[in-house]
Amino acid sequence: MIEKIFRKKSPAVKVQSDMASKQVRYEALVKTLHGDLYRYAYWLVHDQHLAEDLVQETFLRAWRALDSLKDEKAAKSWLITILRRENARRFERKRFEMSEFDEPAIVDHLSTSTEQQLEDHWIREKISQLPEEYREPLVLQVLGGFSGEEIAGMLDLNKNTVMTRLFRARNQLREAIEKGNDIKERYNG
Amino acid sequence: MDDLEFRRRLYAAPYDKQQDIQQALNEDDKRKDFCEQLKNFDAKIAAAMQIDVPENLANQLILRQSLNAHQVTKRKSRIHLSIAASVAFVVGVTVTFLNSSPAFTSVADYSLAHYHHEATNFPKQAKANFSLASINNEMTDLKVSFIEQVGKLIAIDGCFFDGMDSMHLVFEGEYDNVTVFIVPKSEHLSFTKNFSDDSVQGLTRQYPNGDVIIIGNKNEPLELWRDKLDNTIEWSI
């Protein structure tokens, strides 16, 4: 009888410990990657609240599918893939809510900022003005540290296209910033 | 590698570690400078991209997940409970139904089965002389009585008519025994006025307080029996 009870209980105990280890995994994942993911989401949608919502949704989905993540090294690209899908879904749901040309909401307090912050602000503005197809690979490369092949895999493009877009992204940014510097210098002079 | 190609490659990936790029870098100091500039520029981009992450985001993510998981388990256990309850309910209903529901659904089927089961037990002729009082005495439980003798009675006994306390009377008929069942009102058996099978026929007569079923040989004038019973039978409350 006692043996029976114990035998009955052991799977439940196992489930609980599975749940506990899943919880540990999840929390580690959140702690390591939530920043990267949030920034990626931000550069994708240019809105802090939206980015936060996206990250929330992404991690909820990640929790449900956590067992399918076998390789922890692939966690970041896995999460980004989920986030991109979530973002696409958002467009299916509320296609008319956000205009594509909404002015990006970049929060910065110009009055109290240092020169470095000013420069960051300036570059941020330029980054967000990049066409999305150029910006996304750039964010993945610079922020995510992914290689051309990896980005190609995530965006479902071939590698040459990705490299071309990366080239154009940097080229446009550089030109824009140099032009900006010229203007700034002219004002200063 | 020409200059244009070199620049394109480096613009696309300033930290390209591939051999041809590294070689091109070592060939020319200008290229090295250019690469340094680009890396510098990339560092600026990277710095600009490092926007602030909301302070509590990680904690929120963990909290939201645990709330969600909690709700899911609660919902799951509720579903399990309700499934178990439904199964128990269905089992209960089925068992009750099977236990109480008779195998026969019509009076005709049951009467014939009952008749054939016992037909051989009765002699063809009445040997004992039943007094009207003794007959009526047998039937008091059913609250039914006869005003006068109906015919030559071969046997009278209480019986279970499909689970109901009933009377089983066997009379001497013209061709063969005539069997009369007097049964209390039932709801689960459907009544047909006339019925028959290969060897016998039967008819039924319904009263407000009970029913009478008469079975006999195919040639037996059962209507006469019915009319006679009609005139003789008396139901009490």
A90 and A135 inside one domain? no
Residues of A in contact with B4 (CB under 8 A): none
Closest by CA position to B114, among listed B175, B171, B159, B178: B159
Supply B138's token pair.
């047998």
A63 and A134 inside one domain? no
Supply A121's token pair.
């602000």
Distance from CA of A68 to the nearest CA of B (A): 17
Q: Is residue A107 part of a domain?
A: no
| B16: DSSP letter | -
Q: Is residue A104 part of a domain?
A: no
**What SS3 class is residue A71?**
coil
Judged by CB atoms closer than 8 Å, whether chains meet at B64 and A60 is answered as: yes
pLDDT greater than 60 at residue A109:
no
Confidence of residue B102 (pLDDT cuts 50, 70, 90): low
Distance (Å, whole) CA B169 – CA B229? 12
Q: How many CB atoms lie within 10 A of CB B177?
A: 22
Confidence of residue A135 (pLDDT cuts 50, 70, 90): very high
Q: Which residues contact A159 (CB under 8 A, 6 or more apart)?
A: A148, A149, A152
A117 and A86 inside one domain? no
**What SS3 class is residue B217?**
strand
Encode pLDDT of B201-216 as tens digits.
998 888 888 888 999 9
Instruction: Write phi, then psi, for A6 (nearest 5 degrees).
Output: -65, -40
A129 and A183 inside one domain? yes
pLDDT greater than 70 at residue A189:
no
Distance (Å, whole) CA B88 – CA B27? 84
Q: How many CB atoms lie within 10 A of CB A122?
A: 18
Distance (Å, whole) CA B215 – CA B196? 9
Range of the domain at A36: 9-94
Q: Is residue A26 part of a domain?
A: yes
Closest by CA position to B218, among listed B172, B170, B173, B156: B173
The B residues from 21 to 40 touching A (CB cutoff 8 Å) are 38
Encode pLDDT of A27-77 as tens digits.
888 888 999 999 999 998 888 899 999 999 999 888 888 888 888 778 888
% chain B with pLDDT above 70: 98
The predicted model gives B40-57 an average pLDDT of: 88
Encode pLDDT of A152-180 as tens digits.
998 999 999 999 999 999 999 888 888 77
Distance (Å, whole) CA A137 – CA A131? 11
B51–chain A Cβ distance below 8 A for any pair: yes
Distance (Å, whole) CA A174 – CA B7? 13
Minimum Cα–Cα distance from A61: chain B residue: B65
Judged by CB atoms closer than 8 Å, whether chains meet at B44 and A26 is answered as: no
Q: Is residue A101 part of a domain?
A: no
A87 and A13 inside one domain? yes
A10–chain B Cβ distance below 8 A for any pair: no
Confidence of residue A98 (pLDDT cuts 50, 70, 90): very low
Interface with A, mutate which of B41, B44, B49 (most A CBs under 10 A): B49
For residue A100, the model assigns a pLDDT of: 47
Encode pLDDT of B110-132 as tens digits.
888 888 888 777 887 777 788 88
Supply A81's token pair.
């893939």
pLDDT greater than 80 at residue B223:
yes
A13 and A82 inside one domain? yes
Confidence of residue A11 (pLDDT cuts 50, 70, 90): low
The predicted model gives A86-90 an average pLDDT of: 86
For residue A151, the model assigns a pLDDT of: 93
For residue A39, the model assigns a pLDDT of: 93
Q: Are A46 and A105 in contact (CB under 8 A)?
A: yes
pLDDT greater than 60 at residue B2:
yes
A24–chain B Cβ distance below 8 A for any pair: no
For residue A101, the model assigns a pLDDT of: 47
For residue A137, the model assigns a pLDDT of: 93
**Final residue of a structural domain among A94, A123, A150:** A94
State in Å, rounded, how far the first CA of chain A is from the last one: 93
Distance (Å, whole) CA B132 – CA B115? 24
A120 and A44 inside one domain? no
Q: Is residue A99 part of a domain?
A: no
For residue A13, the model assigns a pLDDT of: 63
Q: How many CB atoms lie within 10 A of CB A105?
A: 13
Q: Is residue A1 part of a domain?
A: no
A16 and A84 inside one domain? yes
Encode pLDDT of A137-151 as tens digits.
999 999 888 999 999
Encode pLDDT of B175-210 as tens digits.
888 999 998 887 777 778 888 888 889 988 888 888
For residue A66, the model assigns a pLDDT of: 86
Q: Which residues contact A81 (CB under 8 A, 6 or more apart)?
A: A154
B48–chain A Cβ distance below 8 A for any pair: yes
Tell me which amino acid residue A100 is.
E
Q: Is residue A105 part of a domain?
A: no
A25 and A79 inside one domain? yes
Closest by CA position to B205, among listed B185, B178, B187: B185
A138 and A171 inside one domain? yes
Q: Is residue A106 part of a domain?
A: no
Domain containing residue A13: CATH number: 1.10.1740.10
Residue with the larger pLDDT of the pair A180 and B11: B11
For residue A91, the model assigns a pLDDT of: 73
Distance (Å, whole) CA A33 – CA A80? 10
CB crowding B35-53: b at 16 or more within 10 Å, else e = beebeebbebbeebbebeb
Judged by CB atoms closer than 8 Å, whether chains meet at A34 and B58 is answered as: yes
**Final residue of a structural domain among A64, A94, A124:** A94
Q: Which residues contact B228 (CB under 8 A, 6 or more apart)?
A: B150, B151
Number of domains in chain A: 2
Domain containing residue A125: CATH number: 1.10.10.10
Q: CB contacts < 8 Å between A and B, how many?
A: 91
A118 and A60 inside one domain? no
For residue A37, the model assigns a pLDDT of: 92
CA dihedral over B144, B228, B207, B102, signed as positive or negative:
positive
B137–chain A Cβ distance below 8 A for any pair: no
- The question of ipTM being above 0.85 is answered as no
Judged by CB atoms closer than 8 Å, whether chains meet at B69 and A63 is answered as: yes
A82 and A132 inside one domain? no
